[in-house]
Each structure stands twice: as structure tokens, then as C-alpha cells.
Structure 1
Amino acid sequence: MRVVIVGAGEVGRAIARNLEDAHDVVVVDRDREVVEELTYSLDVLSIRGDGTELRALEQADVEQADLVIACTDDDEVNVVICGAAKTVSDAFTIARVRRRTLLETWEGSEGAFGVDFMVCTDLLTARAIFRISGLPATQDVDTFVGGLVRMAEFEIDDDSPVAGKTVVEADQYDSLTFAGIFRGDEMIVATGDTVLESGDRVVVIGSADSVSDFAADVVAPTSDNGDEVVIVGASEIGFQAAREFEEHGYRPRLIEQDHDRAREVAEALPDTLVMESDATDTEFLAREHVDEADLVISALDGDEKNLLVSLLSRRLGVDRTVAVIENLEYAELFETVGIDVAINPREETAEEIVRFTRAGQTEKVAMLEHDRAEVIEFEVSRDSVLAKRTIVDATTSLPDGVVIGAISRGGELVTPRGETVIKPGDHVVIFVDAAVLEEVFELV
């Protein structure tokens, strides 16, 4: 497939990096230095040009493209790029936008503007925040097979009851598979003898109930995980996050310093208590008992502000902190200093677009640890190396770095065990080391 990506920021780079091995990728960007750097760092054709101009698109041979992805940092520019591409090609177009209102306009106009698919960064980020908030100690959460299967990544700390146990000792659940472990720079495929160490990030796949039970056992018994949620910052992400919590029956509190914005969101969020104040005012935080919150979400406009608020929340004794970061390079720093989860909107967007590009091969994709591994769902065909074979037998045909996490058969969850036979038509959820991803796609 020929893919033209316009915009080589974090989103564009992540998509290009993910697709370069399996597709013919062209990247267009206005910045000469960025184009030169891409030429040497990725196996793509990089072109300097303005994607809103037909000349630049023609230089990228957009008329031969199967897919055009507009992912600059400007919503309107991305829409124009898609419209321009449609005038000279039959390519499927994807526009990345930040504003949910633009997404709603597009949805209401039945795919107008020459955009075939639109991805809203702020909405995706808000939904990711909500998913993560539902389980204690989790770093990432996603669902597969229409919600029948859940994947979650948990960090094991010193006080965790499972720290120091082997996978066999920790696995006391009906429908759960320990898939992989991230230990520093190492990625480990979990086996029964693997010992769970403090600092490990463990990926499990299974039924929603089993994953929830494991989540409850990962944290120390004294932890109190309730429903008191405080969102700091009425940015678009903060606003959308509050709306997500409202839609799921929560009554969050939201702190916003700007008077006009606070009034605006208060009118739009009937089940959210909006407080007009500076979130770094310790007297205000103490007076409003923010220290009793189970979760504080920092969604201000600025990474430094979100780091400051998160650190202050931890100092006050808040159980869990989630911070929005725009610069992906800060993710490790945030987590090193004690922020529980750092969410990058651009990374969420890249994941959603990559999911879409894989639609012909997979039902769903979740990228882990900045794309060091993926969890994918696919339907087993008659030609698959997995069809009509037990898991023990089938895995001998798969490369190292693959774990079969769950199977759905006729809408029922099948917990994979060594002698489980995989049948054509089954929906299988697997954990895959990113290094062998393309090889796995060719086999399954």
C-alpha cells in the first residue's frame, strides 16, 4: 500500500516508523531539517513541501496513493490537505484534528470536506484517561472483541503483594494470561517461572473480571481506590475528560483559574463541580480537601505546569496522578519523579491511525511502551498457521516474542491453555514484540 503522510511531527513520525517495513511510505513536511533527518532515520521517501499545495502532493505522487494521512498540528490545514488530495486521487483520506466540535461537524455532514476518516486527538486522550482511571496501578488499558477481552499494563511496586512471586504463584484467576513484562529496556515474554519484580510493567490479557481482580491484588492492601476525581485545567482535554467521567456516572471536580472559561465549562458540565482557582494554591487545595481525592488529572496547557500540579498532588497525599504531556521525551522524566501515568495526545492519535491502516489484517491494535510491543486482535482464517492446531503446536510456527492472550469463539471467551485447539473463525488476541510484528502478520 502506498501511504502519503503530510506532517512529520510526533504523530507523523510515529505512523511512518510503524508502517515503513510493510508499506511504501512518503512523508511531506515544510521543514528542511526535518526532511533531511527523516531521509537518514527512516526507510521512507521524505519530501519538503506544503501539503496544502497540489504541487507538493503531485511531487509525492499522491495520485498513486492508497492512503493520505494529514497530521500537521493545524486542524484546518489537515482538512484542506485531504480536500486537495481528493481532487487528484482516489486515496482514502484521514485527517487528525484536536477539536471535538470539528469532528462533530464532519460526522453530521456525512464525511464532508474530502475527509474519509477523522481522528480527534483531545477526545481520544480523554477516553484514554478514563480507561486508565478505572483500574488501580495501571499504565495502559484497552478492550478487544467488543469488550469481552481486556488488556492492561500494571506497574509492580515494592509494596505490591505480587512482587517477588513467580507468574505461576501470582496467577490465581479464571481467565487471565500473563503476556509480557517490560523491565527497564528489556522486554520479557512471561512464562510460569518468570519472577515479578518491583518496577516491572506487566501486561495481562483476559476477561474484564479477571483483569479487575488482578488489579485489586497488584496494589498494596491498604490502598483505597474510590471515585473521587479531580481534574486540573479546563483545556479541551480537561473538559472532554470531565464529560467522559460524567457520562459514566461520576461527579468529578474541575479546577480552572480563568473566570470566563470556568463559567463556560460549568454551564456545559451539569454533573461537574467547577472551582475557579489556581491549582497551585495550597490553602485552596487544603480547604477543598483535594488531598482526599483518589485521582488527580493534570490537563493544563503546558508540560511544566502539569508536572508541578502532579508533584504537588503527590505531596498532599493524593493516591494517584495522571498528567497530560505534549513532549513525549518528558514521559520517562514524569514517571521517574513519581507521576503515575503520563499520557501523550499525539501518541494516542498515532495509535488510532495505525489501527485504521491495519483494518484489513486486524480487528484492533493497541501499542505498548511507545510501540515496543503491540496487542492485536484478528480473526483466524482457514489459511492461518494457527487454524486447527493446539496452542502448544501452533506457537512452534510463530517467532519468539508472541503470546496468545485470549480467544473468543461465538461470543464466548476461551481461556488459552496448551491443549486448546484454535479454530477458523475464532477471534484471537495476541501480544507481539514489535520486532517480529510483520513476520507475525504474514503467518496469521
Structure 2
Amino acid sequence: MRVVIVGAGEVGSNIAASLADSHDVVVVDVDPERVEEVKYSLDVLAIEGDGASIDTLEEAGVADADLLIASTDDDETNLATCGTAKALGDPFTIARVKQVGFLRTWERSRGAFDVDFMVCSNLVAAEDIVQVIGLPAAVNVEQFAQGLVQMAEFEIGESSSVAGQTVSEADQYELLTFAAILRDDDVEIPDGDSRIEAGDRVVVIGMPKAVHEFALTAAPTRMPNDATNVFVVGGGEIGFQTAQLLQERGLSPRLVERDPERARELAEQLSETVVLQMDATDTDALERENVGTADVVVAALDSDQNSLFAALVAKRLGAKRAVAVVEDGDHRDLFETVGVDAAVNPRVVTAEEITRITREETAEKLTFIEDDRAEVFEVEVDGDSVLAGRPIRESVADLPRGVVVGSIVRDRELVSPRGDTVVEVGDHVVLFVDSSVAEEVTAAV
């Protein structure tokens, strides 16, 4: 498949890296430094130029492309790029936007703006934040099989009761699979004798109830029974969307916004949210508003520096958990190292969503672990799949190392994925896969 990606920033580069091994990829950007970086770091053709320009897209070969991804930081440029691409040929067009208004317009009339699929960075980031809030001890959470299966990644602290245990000792839960242990730069596919150490990150897949029960054991001090007391710090688009999603789940969050006019606007739009007009970096004001009593504080301010400050102040005041929006992907590990419980990068989650769409013929749902060290995806098994009609033990033996069958859903019921379990045509299977073999596995299943 020929893919043209316009925009070589964090989103475009991540997408290009995930597609370069198996597709003919062309990357376009106006910044010559980005073009040079992509050219020498990825096996792609990189072109300097304006992606909305018909001359540039002709040079990139859009007329013969199967897929055009517009992923710059400017919404209007991305929409114009899709329109220009449709004037030259008939690629499937995907546009990244930040403004939810563009998404709502497109949802009313699919194909509007000459866009075949649209991803809103601010909305997918808010959805990711709400997933993490729903399972407070986790650093990464995703739902599969229409909510019947949950994947979660937990960081194991020194006080965790599973630290020092083998997987067999820790596995006391029905319909839960220990998919991986992440240690330093290694991805270990565990067996019963694998030992879980403090500092490891453990990926589990299974029934949401079982995942929640494991969370209570893995990180009991960071797992309130119900995350009902939520503070959202910052009334920008991500903060607003997060509060709105929390309202839809029956919660009444509190939202802090400094600008009086914006605070009034938010109060009018968020009927179940208490909007506090105050400076989110004012420690005394945060203390007066009892931020320290919060189950979760979401820091979504206008800069990474301010978000980090607000998150750490909230933790110091006593908040059980802090989630921060991180615009610069290089800051993500730093945030979590200094005490933020989970850092959400809108560009990374957007790249994941767009990459999922490029694989929609085989993977119904896709998420990445530790950016790109591993993938978890859902497939519906057909008659050509290596999994069909065979015990898991046999089919996995025919796949490259680095694959775990995490869960099986059959007729809306979970089936325990043991070695002798036979996968049937029509089953929905959730797989954990090392990224180095992901393309090969996707083609086989």
C-alpha cells in the first residue's frame, strides 16, 4: 500500500515508523530539519514542501496513493490537504484535527471536507484520561470486545504484595492473563515461573472485574474504591472534554480555570461540573479548595511546565493520584519519574488511533504499550487465520516469539485462553504482540 503522510511532527513520525516496514511510505513536511531527520531515521521517502499544495502532492505521488494522512498541527491545513488529495486521485483520506467542532460537522456528514476518517486529538486524549481515571492504579488502560475485555498496565512498587512473587503465585484471578513483564528495555513473555520485581510494569488482559481485583493487589495504596472526587485543572479543550466525559459517566467533577470569561463559558456548558475561577498554579488557592482530598487530579494546563507543577502540588497536598497532559513526548517519562502517576500525550494517542485505522481490515482495535515496544489488538477470527480450529498451544507455536493470546470472546462470553483451548471461527481474540513481529502476526491471524 502506498501511503502519503503530510506532517513529520510527533504524530506523523510515529505513524510513519509503524507503517514503514510493510508499506511504501512518503512523508511531506515544510520544515527541512524534520525532513532530514525522517529521511535518515526511517526507511521512507521524505519530501520538503507544503502538503496542501497541489504541486507538492503531485511530487509525492498522491494520484497513485492508497492512503493520505494529514497530520500537521494546523486543522485547516489538514482539511485543505485532504481536499487537494481528492482533486488529484482517490486515496482514503484521514485528517487529524484538534477542534471538536470539525469532528462534529464531519460526523453529521461523513465525507465532509473530503475527509474519509477524522481523528480529534483533544477528544481522544480526554477519552484516554477517563480510561485511566476509571482504573486509578493503572498507567495505561484500554477496552476491547465492546467493553467485555480490558487491558491494563501496572507499575509494581516496592510495597506491592506481588513484588517478588512468581506469575503463578500472583495469578489468583479468573479470566485474567499475564501478558507481559516490561523491565528496563526488555519485553518478557512470562510463564508461571517468571518473577515480578519492584519497578516492573506488568500488562494484564481479561475480564474488567478481574483486572480491577488485580489492581487492588498490585497497587492497593493507589487504588481508591471509587474515583468519584475528581479535579480537572485547566479549562482548555482537553480539560473541557474530560469534564464532559466524566459527567456522562455520572460524576460531578470540579474544574479549575483561571480566565473569568472562559470559566463562565464552561459553567454554562457543563451543568454537572463545579467550575472554580482561580489560578491553578496558586498553591494556597488549591489548598483552600481541598484539592488534597481528590481521588484523581487531572492537570491539563497550557504548558507542560504548568501541568507538572499543578500535578505535583496536588500530590503534595494529599491527592491520591495525578494524571497530566504532556504535549512534548520527550517529557512523558520525566513526568512519571518525578511523581505523576500517568502522563497522557495527545499526539501519541492520536498516532495510535490513526495507525489502528490503517489496519482496520485485520485489527478491530489497536493500542500501543510504552509508545511502541508492544501492541495489543483485537481480531475476529476467520477461516484463513492460523488460530482457527486449533488449540492455542499449536497455533502460537507457528507464530514468531512474542505473542500472547490474552482473551477470547465467543458469543459475548469470555472463554479462558489456556493452551488446549480451541479458537473457533467468529471468536474475537485479543492478542499481546511484541512490536518487532507485529506485522507478521497481523498477516497470519
Query: Any stretches of 5+ residues in structure 2 without a counterpart?
Result: none
Amino acid corresponding to residue 240 of structure 1 in structure 2: Q
Answer yes or no: is the 8 Å Cα contact 1:119–1:349 preserved in 2: yes
Query: Any stretches of 5+ residues in structure 1 without a counterpart?
Result: none
Once the two structures are superposed, the pairs formed by residues 34-45 of structure 1 within 5 Å of their partners are 34-45=34-45
Task: Report what 1:354 is aligned to.
Answer: 355
What secondary structure is seen at the aligned counterpart in 1 of 2:292? helix
Once the two structures are superposed, the pairs formed by residues 16-27 of structure 1 within 5 Å of their partners are 16-27=16-27
Task: Report what 1:205 is aligned to.
Answer: 205
Distance (whole Å) between structure 1 residues aligned to residue 350 and residue 401 of structure 2: 29
Amino acid corresponding to residue 38 of structure 1 in structure 2: V
What secondary structure is seen at the aligned counterpart in 2 of 1:187? strand
Task: Report what 1:179 is aligned to.
Answer: 179
Task: Report what 2:307 is aligned to.
Answer: 306
Task: Report what 1:418 is aligned to.
Answer: 419
Once the two structures are superposed, residues 183-220 of structure 1 have per-residue CA deviations (whole angstroms, 9 ceiling, x without a partner) of: 12111112111111111111100011111111122223
Answer yes or no: is the 8 Å Cα contact 1:136–1:225 preserved in 2: no
Amino acid corresponding to residue 406 of structure 1 in structure 2: S
What secondary structure is seen at the aligned counterpart in 2 of 1:182? strand
What secondary structure is seen at the aligned counterpart in 1 of 2:112? coil
Answer yes or no: is the 8 Å Cα contact 1:298–1:309 preserved in 2: yes
Answer yes or no: is the 8 Å Cα contact 2:247–2:273 preserved in 1: yes
**Structure 1's 215 and 222: CA in aligned 2 closer, same or farther, altered over 3 A?**
closer
The yes-or-no answer on 1:144 pairing with 2:144 is: yes
Amino acid corresponding to residue 326 of structure 1 in structure 2: E
Amino acid corresponding to residue 214 of structure 1 in structure 2: F
Task: Report what 2:378 is aligned to.
Answer: 377
Distance (whole Å) between structure 1 residues aligned to residue 84 and residue 222 of structure 2: 58
Q: CA RMSD in A?
A: 1.2
Task: Report what 1:341 is aligned to.
Answer: 342
Amino acid corresponding to residue 239 of structure 2 in structure 1: G
Answer yes or no: is the 8 Å Cα contact 1:136–1:219 preserved in 2: no
Distance (whole Å) between structure 1 residues aligned to residue 348 and residue 11 of structure 2: 6
What secondary structure is seen at the aligned counterpart in 1 of 2:301? coil
Amino acid corresponding to residue 249 of structure 1 in structure 2: G
Distance (whole Å) between structure 1 residues aligned to residue 95 and residue 391 of structure 2: 42
Moved more, 306-315 or 275-284: 275-284
Answer yes or no: is the 8 Å Cα contact 2:136–2:224 preserved in 1: no
Task: Report what 2:321 is aligned to.
Answer: 320
What secondary structure is seen at the aligned counterpart in 1 of 2:129? helix
What secondary structure is seen at the aligned counterpart in 2 of 1:43? coil
The yes-or-no answer on 1:218 pairing with 2:255 is: no
Once the two structures are superposed, residues 349-368 of structure 1 have per-residue CA deviations (whole angstroms, 9 ceiling, x without a partner) of: 00000000001111111111
Once the two structures are superposed, the pairs formed by residues 280-295 of structure 1 within 5 Å of their partners are 280-295=281-296
Answer yes or no: is the 8 Å Cα contact 1:136–1:216 preserved in 2: no
The yes-or-no answer on 1:164 pairing with 2:164 is: yes
What secondary structure is seen at the aligned counterpart in 2 of 1:113? helix
The yes-or-no answer on 1:229 pairing with 2:230 is: yes
Once the two structures are superposed, the pairs formed by residues 67-106 of structure 1 within 5 Å of their partners are 67-106=67-106
Q: Following TM superposition, by how much is the alpha carbon of 1:380 offset from its aligned partner in structure 2, in angstroms?
A: 1.7
What secondary structure is seen at the aligned counterpart in 2 of 1:177? strand
**Structure 1's 386 and 222: CA in aligned 2 closer, same or farther, altered over 3 A?**
closer
Distance (whole Å) between structure 1 residues aligned to residue 426 and residue 337 of structure 2: 44
Amino acid corresponding to residue 63 of structure 2 in structure 1: E
Distance (whole Å) between structure 1 residues aligned to residue 222 and residue 311 of structure 2: 22
Query: Given the two structures, how large is their TM-score scaled by the length of structure 2?
Result: 0.98
Answer yes or no: is the 8 Å Cα contact 1:294–1:318 preserved in 2: yes
What secondary structure is seen at the aligned counterpart in 2 of 1:38? helix
Amino acid corresponding to residue 385 of structure 1 in structure 2: V
Q: Following TM superposition, by how much is the alpha carbon of 1:281 offset from its aligned partner in structure 2, in angstroms?
A: 2.0
Once the two structures are superposed, residues 149-171 of structure 1 have per-residue CA deviations (whole angstroms, 9 ceiling, x without a partner) of: 11111111111121111111111
Q: Following TM superposition, by how much is the alpha carbon of 1:288 offset from its aligned partner in structure 2, in angstroms?
A: 1.4
Distance (whole Å) between structure 1 residues aligned to residue 419 and residue 297 of structure 2: 42
What number of residue pairs does the alignment pair up?
A: 444
Amino acid corresponding to residue 270 of structure 1 in structure 2: S
Distance (whole Å) between structure 2 residues aligned to residue 143 and residue 283 of structure 1: 38
**Structure 1's 205 and 95: CA in aligned 2 closer, same or farther, altered over 3 A?**
same
Q: Following TM superposition, by how much is the alpha carbon of 1:383 offset from its aligned partner in structure 2, in angstroms?
A: 2.2
Q: Following TM superposition, by how much is the alpha carbon of 1:223 offset from its aligned partner in structure 2, in angstroms?
A: 5.2
Identical pairs, percent: 55
Once the two structures are superposed, residues 293-324 of structure 1 have per-residue CA deviations (whole angstroms, 9 ceiling, x without a partner) of: 01000000100001111111111121100000
Answer yes or no: is the 8 Å Cα contact 1:325–1:343 preserved in 2: yes
Task: Report what 2:155 is aligned to.
Answer: 155
Distance (whole Å) between structure 2 residues aligned to residue 412 and residue 222 of structure 1: 31
Amino acid corresponding to residue 423 of structure 1 in structure 2: E
Q: Following TM superposition, by how much is the alpha carbon of 1:222 offset from its aligned partner in structure 2, in angstroms?
A: 8.2
Answer yes or no: is the 8 Å Cα contact 2:93–2:117 preserved in 1: yes
Task: Report what 2:57 is aligned to.
Answer: 57
Q: Following TM superposition, by how much is the alpha carbon of 1:26 offset from its aligned partner in structure 2, in angstroms?
A: 0.5
Task: Report what 1:15 is aligned to.
Answer: 15
The yes-or-no answer on 1:263 pairing with 2:264 is: yes
Distance (whole Å) between structure 2 residues aligned to residue 107 and residue 223 of structure 1: 37
What secondary structure is seen at the aligned counterpart in 2 of 1:164? coil
Distance (whole Å) between structure 1 residues aligned to residue 56 and residue 256 of structure 2: 45
Once the two structures are superposed, residues 359-418 of structure 1 have per-residue CA deviations (whole angstroms, 9 ceiling, x without a partner) of: 111111111101110001112222222222111122211111111101111222111011
Distance (whole Å) between structure 2 residues aligned to residue 362 and residue 281 of structure 1: 46
Q: Following TM superposition, by how much is the alpha carbon of 1:111 offset from its aligned partner in structure 2, in angstroms?
A: 2.2
Once the two structures are superposed, residues 102-121 of structure 1 have per-residue CA deviations (whole angstroms, 9 ceiling, x without a partner) of: 11112223321111111000
Amino acid corresponding to residue 260 of structure 1 in structure 2: E
What secondary structure is seen at the aligned counterpart in 1 of 2:114? coil
Once the two structures are superposed, the pairs formed by residues 387-398 of structure 1 within 5 Å of their partners are 387-398=388-399
Q: Following TM superposition, by how much is the alpha carbon of 1:225 offset from its aligned partner in structure 2, in angstroms?
A: 4.2
Once the two structures are superposed, residues 49-86 of structure 1 have per-residue CA deviations (whole angstroms, 9 ceiling, x without a partner) of: 10111000000010000110000000011000000101
Amino acid corresponding to residue 365 of structure 2 in structure 1: K
Task: Report what 1:275 is aligned to.
Answer: 276
Answer yes or no: is the 8 Å Cα contact 2:231–2:294 preserved in 1: yes
Answer yes or no: is the 8 Å Cα contact 2:136–2:222 preserved in 1: no
